[in-house]
Structure 1
Amino acid sequence: MSKEQPFEEAKVEVRTTADGSPTLYVPALNEHYHSHHGAAQESRHVFIEAGLRPLLAAGKGQRGTDPIHLLEVGLGTGLNALLTLEAVQAAEAHVVYEGYETLPLPSEVVAALRPQWQSQPALCEMFDTLHEASWEEPVVLHEYLLLLKVQQALQTADLSANYYNLIYFDAFAPEKQPELWTEDVFAKLYAAAAPGAVLVSYCAQGQFRRNLRAAGWLTEKLPGPPGKREMTRARKPA
């Protein structure tokens, strides 16, 4: 998730969610990085099934086509990136994955999250590579995924125009990080999105959708993950 918050030395705690997967809790914000109903199942539902899967089903990123250009607003624990890798491996599709993050995790927190992946040795190795990778330098996380970690606030980022096919918008809730849920931010993402691009978010707040529509996005409500009635998917007209 996006950790663009005004706490330079934010403390985080590792907590286990209902599906057995870990998440992080930030006491200063009274906020979790993922749903306490299940971190992994939330990410799969919102970002993989509602965002990435339709692109893969349409043949995007496969041999002979351009890679899927994916932007994550907040790299966080790396959960979304690793679930994306799992999906594109199965589809033999290529992704260029950019994750914006302003609060890299301390090494002890990374170590505490690592056991989540130990039953999957290949993904566990990718977890290590992801967190050890230098910032602002592209790294081949896997033959199907090129990763670029950017330690910068989204508001000041210089994003390429008409470039991204898919955006994972995974910031903390609007009441926790209001500066990231503005019409200006969604207009910036709209300009950076390729025609037909998709933006997905766990959030279903009415003002969020109104800000998306004011920036040009077409929005729809989808059933949410366990513990949440709805989520949002938005599309830039082709």
Structure 2
Amino acid sequence: MERKIIHTADGSKTIQLTGWNEQYHSLHGAVQEAYHVFIEAGLRQFSDRELSILEVGFGTGLNALITLVEAPSLNLTVQYSALETSPVIEAEWRELGYGSAFDTSRAALWYEALHLCTWEEPVTITSGFTLTKRNTDARRFVTAHPVYDLIYFDAFGARVQPDLWTEEIFISMFSALRPGGILVTYSAKGSVRRAMEAVGFQTERLPGPPGKREMLRASKPLNPGTLP
């Protein structure tokens, strides 16, 4: 499938998959969307603790980089796991250049480290951030115990990959979250919300990033009971 790098409205870049008419990030602003959905609605709900994060769709590495940059201000030590079956190539992530979007000069070095680190094992990027990249996707992801506090659900949209937005997928996500944990996603489709609620999530619609009216945040109850 043809891929090309394009500019978004906030000046940052993203990758467009022309055959699907789909982008890795919002055309209204790649960095802006990532902050709104995953940091403001997700990461900033936690502070002063160790935090275990699962990202569904490592993609360009933007969500991981922003998390790495923002976690110290919240006094968070982050264990970050990411699922990805089709890593972007080096020429692409270098052209995207997300490290230059941040005030700290270290962001470019961190961005490179996120992409160059080995797969399938924990890699310490900074003293407060460890990354484990796994070459799998949500359809094959299983965990024996609830180990995550926060899930960034950033798969391609249900229009092009409907099998990543099903009850079966959200059962897996629900099982992976600790009680009280949350999942955030840019999607606000009614079918997605119903799939989440069917497996036990409590959902809320939040104002979406520029270009989207709403987004979803789902919480696992403190006493979740038995899965459907």
**Which bin holds the TM-score, normalised by the shorter protein?**
over 0.9
Kindly state the Cα deviation for residue 131 of structure 1 after the two structures are TM-superposed: 0.6
Identity %, equivalent residues: 43
Q: Does the residue aligned with 1:157 lie in a helix, a strand or coil?
A: coil
Q: Does the residue aligned with 2:76 lie in a helix, a strand or coil?
A: coil
Matched, 1:145 2:129: yes
Matched, 1:126 2:110: yes
User: Amino acid of the residue matched to residue 151 of structure 1?
Assistant: N
Q: Deviations over 1:155-203 (max 9, x none)?
A: 1123242111000001111011011000000011101110000000000
Candidates 149, 154, 163, aligned match of 1:179: 163
- The residue aligned with 1:3 is none
**Rounded Cα–Cα distance in structure 2 between residues aligned with 1:28 and 1:137:** 33
Contact 1:136 1:149 (C-alpha < 8 Å) held by counterparts = yes
- The residue aligned with 1:64 is none
Count of matched residue positions in the alignment of Structure 1 and Structure 2: 221
Q: Which runs of 5+ in 2 are unaligned?
A: 223-228
Kindly state the Cα deviation for residue 215 of structure 1 after the two structures are TM-superposed: 0.9
**Rounded Cα–Cα distance in structure 1 between residues aligned with 2:67 and 2:184:** 14
Candidates 176, 181, 188, aligned match of 2:172: 188
Contact 1:217 1:234 (C-alpha < 8 Å) held by counterparts = yes
Candidates 54, 58, 76, aligned match of 2:45: 54
- The residue aligned with 1:84 is 67
Contact 1:92 1:144 (C-alpha < 8 Å) held by counterparts = no
Q: Deviations over 1:72-123 (max 9, x none)?
A: 0010111000111111122231010001001011121122112652764201
Matched, 1:206 2:186: no
- The residue aligned with 2:57 is 74
Q: 1:225 to 1:115 in 2, by over 3 A?
A: closer
**Rounded Cα–Cα distance in structure 2 between residues aligned with 1:121 and 1:19:** 20
User: Amino acid of the residue matched to residue 68 of structure 1?
Assistant: L
**Rounded Cα–Cα distance in structure 1 between residues aligned with 2:129 and 2:176:** 20
Kindly state the Cα deviation for residue 51 of structure 1 after the two structures are TM-superposed: 0.5
Contact 1:40 1:79 (C-alpha < 8 Å) held by counterparts = yes
User: Amino acid of the residue matched to residue 65 of structure 2?
Assistant: L
- The residue aligned with 2:33 is 42
**Rounded Cα–Cα distance in structure 2 between residues aligned with 1:154 and 1:162:** 15
**Rounded Cα–Cα distance in structure 2 between residues aligned with 1:113 and 1:77:** 8
Kindly state the Cα deviation for residue 12 of structure 1 after the two structures are TM-superposed: 2.0
Contact 2:56 2:137 (C-alpha < 8 Å) held by counterparts = no
- The residue aligned with 2:88 is 105
Candidates 114, 119, 141, aligned match of 2:97: 114
The two structures, once aligned, show a CA RMSD in angstroms of 1.3
TM-score by length of 1: 0.89
Q: Does the residue aligned with 1:155 lie in a helix, a strand or coil?
A: coil
TM-score by length of 2: 0.93
**Rounded Cα–Cα distance in structure 2 between residues aligned with 1:161 and 1:27:** 39
**Rounded Cα–Cα distance in structure 2 between residues aligned with 1:126 and 1:81:** 10
**Rounded Cα–Cα distance in structure 1 between residues aligned with 2:29 and 2:98:** 16
